[in-house]
Structure 1
């Protein structure tokens, strides 16, 4: 008996916004799929340095 799970995670950039300073706010939509069936959608806002391109961690 052989059991195979085909999982995939896809990230898509929805939009970019200029934030104060040398920072860009990027809206990202994440989609998880199991055998090409979408299971989970989540939208996030990430902050990226405009100069070096590194992801910044924002703590509230």
Structure 2
């Protein structure tokens, strides 16, 4: 019996962003609201996309809050 294992990875991409009022609780940087997209790839071929909105810190890049669209 032969078992073949393929590489599967997931990548987050920021499509658009604009500044909003607020600060990051971790580093006190400015906050941005962004349209995010998660791409899941199987053997380097993308097969699943998910779009969502998130409030992201502009300094450290952490996701402060996320919203499903």
Query: TM-score, normalised to structure 2's length?
Result: 0.61
Q: Number of residue pairs matched?
A: 59
Listed as ranges, the gaps of 5+ residues in structure 2 are 24-30
After TM superposition, the runs of 4+ consecutive aligned structure 1 residues lying more than 3 A away are 49-54
Q: Distance in 1 between matches of 2:9 and 2:66?
A: 27
Q: Once the two structures are superposed, what CA deviation does each residue of 1:6-44 show, in whole Å capped at 9, x if it has no partner?
A: 101122111211122332112211111111221110112
Q: Which residue of 2 aligns with 1:35?
A: 43
Listed as ranges, the gaps of 5+ residues in structure 1 are none
Q: Distance in 2 between matches of 1:28 and 1:15?
A: 8
